Amino acid sequence: EAGVAQSPRYKIIEKRQSVAFWCNPISGHATLYWYQQILGQGPKLLIQFQNNGVVDDSQLPKDRFSAERLKGVDSTLKIQPAKLEDSAVYLCASSLGTTGNLFTDTQYFGPGTRLTVL
Amino acid sequence: RKEVEQDPGPFNVPEGATVAFNCTYSNSASQSFFWYRQDCRKEPKLLMSVYSSGNEDGRFTAQLNRASQYISLLIRDSKLSDSATYLCVVNPIDSSYKLIFGSGTRLLVRP
């Protein structure tokens, strides 16, 4: 079974530029998550989708970050404009999202996009 | 206070050693608990869930102490391949899939 796909794997940009990341979840997974992982820290949830609706975006810096999942499958995360502190790995994860039980509804992570803002 | 706190380590142990990690969480209403493993420059992967009664999976044992709000992970007979960062993960609300990750504890197993 194919895992969560993300692209690009690496991106280097200058501050104030824009960048977009793409994620394709595991087939059939209704729930999709975007996490930010800064070096030395654990992943931090930015936004959670259930199908194409937003469930939780309380920690998304909405003045510069946006995300969409228009058809309930793949998703894009955009940063505009980027700041130095946005340097991090952006992880996408997906889960079935149908059991209502975290013990049986495992989140599977993609390989991440490593963003460097200069 | 962080929602999930872990000793960052590193824990440097010889092969065959037993090592234990603890993690504390601040929200007493937290419902579900997990340990994830993250290899260097790789994505996190679920290692094991932590049940109220404790659970064991081969060389790995997880325990939950709700009264003291901490979770533990015990690794017996450490292997070189156990070298990784171990992330303590908490679901603070039963009605959602939200996970809160600790910063991780780094384990180095030496020959």
Q: Give A-chain residues touching B45 at CB under 8 angstroms.
A: 109
C-alpha neighbours within 13 Å on the C-beta side of residue A27: 2
| Closest by Cα among A104, A90, A99, A103 to A33 | A90
CB contact under 8 A, B98 and A41: no
- Whose tokens are 């502190």? That residue is A85
Tens-place pLDDT, residues A67-114: 999 888 999 999 999 999 999 999 999 998 776 677 778 899 999 999
| Closest by Cα among A55, A40, A104 to B10 | A40
Given CB atoms, is A111 within the 8 Å cutoff of chain B?
A: yes
CB contact under 8 A, B101 and A40: no
Chain A: give the shortest CA distance to residue B17, in Å: 25
Tens-place pLDDT, residues A13-23: 999 999 999 99
pLDDT above 60 for B94: no
pLDDT above 80 for B90: yes
Tens-place pLDDT, residues A22-80: 999 999 999 999 999 999 999 999 999 998 899 889 999 999 999 999 888 999 999 99
Backbone angles phi, psi at B35, to 5 degrees: -115, 130
pLDDT above 90 for B58: yes
pLDDT above 90 for B82: yes
Q: Mutate one of B87, B97, B101 to test the A interface: name it (highest A CB count within 10 A).
A: B97
Chain A: give the shortest CA distance to residue B33, in Å: 9
